[in-house]
Structure 1
């Protein structure tokens, strides 16, 4: 879910910065409303303070909000799965048999099987002695 929030933030930041590279858009925006950075930062910090105080005063609101974000995350995951299926149906190679592709995906990759075998061997504990380091020579002497 945080991925979607971060993605939306960065996408909106890109949309805000794109007019800087177009001269026509830059001239249009100079005539438009202006924004003071100090006022914007102050408003954002007060909004964060208000939201944190809201969670302390009414914890049930924050619990319901968290449940809502979880539900939206599940919906977004399912939406991504549906989008993947649609794109796969649109751009898949017709010569490729989907049953063969599913069977290939169901089998573990050989590299992963080798890593699992190495991890099983690495679980053995080897005991021994550790050499005590000798003292360094004193530079004052």
Structure 2
């Protein structure tokens, strides 16, 4: 279980980091308020300390945490888009050369068959 949590965390952080490579900046609108990194880290620290009763003890932290997750979700989505575009571009470059070779080459590979003459059979272990 802990492996899944750590894996999800680092995957999200990687996608968030990739989102900074996107050509278009993230638009800040009234529906998606901007969150500074220090505010996000502060909200994460508070959430860790008060995870059992976060919203009842400190509703403002709960609200800021929700805003932080919205922004991280958008950043992760943008990062995934950048990663998809990089992979797509890389595969398109590789397929371009391979496609021409595949068209000129034979339709099937040569198949060589043979007969297995001896199948090794394990011997019984001697009794002691």
TM-score by length of 1: 0.33
Higher percent of residues as helix: 1
TM-score by length of 2: 0.36
Q: Which structure is larger by alpha-carbon Rg, 1 or 2? A: 1
